[in-house]
Amino acid sequence: MAFIKVIDYPQAEGRLKEIYDYLIKKRGKLADVHKIQSLNPESILKHMDLYLHIMFGSSPLKRYQREMIAVVVSINNQCPYCVTHHGEALLHFWKDDGKLANFIKDYYGAGLNAKDLALCRLAETLTIHPSQIDEAYHKDQLKQPGLDDRSILDASLIIAYFNFVNRLVLGLGVELEADSGTGYEYE
């Protein structure tokens, strides 16, 4: 149960209803992480603009890599809402329940390539120990396995975004929807 008032779809009017309808059209359904912002409808749009840009926009990072980063950040923040949602998105791309289960338990045991491991380590380090990221880290941990500057920037944007969203979800009591994995557009 959310810790603050939330306006559900049936009670939405005016601009909020327009925004809810837009989200349903764009993403396939309305998530509780969006409804938690119902008292400030324009913030939902700004939130979605950033989300759609960094998760679906042009990038050298593949879609599964972006979801993988989201899951690692959310695991480290102990945010089951985002682990579940973005784990389901990652499963959409991997189509391997065992790999996803191994990944969630310990991404080192998921059979990832060097570039994907570097992205996961970056997500974990920047979430837990951001001050440990320095120029040497970029050279040794990120560029050595083949990540270019744009990939590093995009990964950092995704990591920062999910740290923001995890805090919104955890701090305002957003609970996982009963039908969490059905109806979303992943591509």
Residue pLDDT, tens place only, 6-57: 999 999 999 999 999 999 988 888 889 999 999 999 999 999 999 999 999 9
CA distances from 76 to 40, 107, 138, 147 (A): 28, 12, 21, 22
Residue extent(s) of CATH 1.20.1290.10 domains in the chain: 63-172
For 63-172, which CATH class? mainly alpha
Dihedral sign for Cα atoms in the order 29, 31, 37, 39:
positive
pLDDT digits (tens, 9 = 90+) for 104-132: 999 999 999 999 999 999 999 999 999 99
Query: What's the confidence (pLDDT) of residue 140?
Result: 92
Query: What's the confidence (pLDDT) of residue 184?
Result: 62
pLDDT-based confidence at residue 1 (cuts at 50, 70, 90):
confident
CA distances from 64 to 16, 20, 170 (A): 31, 26, 24
First to last CA, the chain: 30
Model's pTM, two decimal places? Answer: 0.93
At residue 81, does pLDDT exceed 90? yes
Q: Which H or E run contains 120?
A: helix 114-128
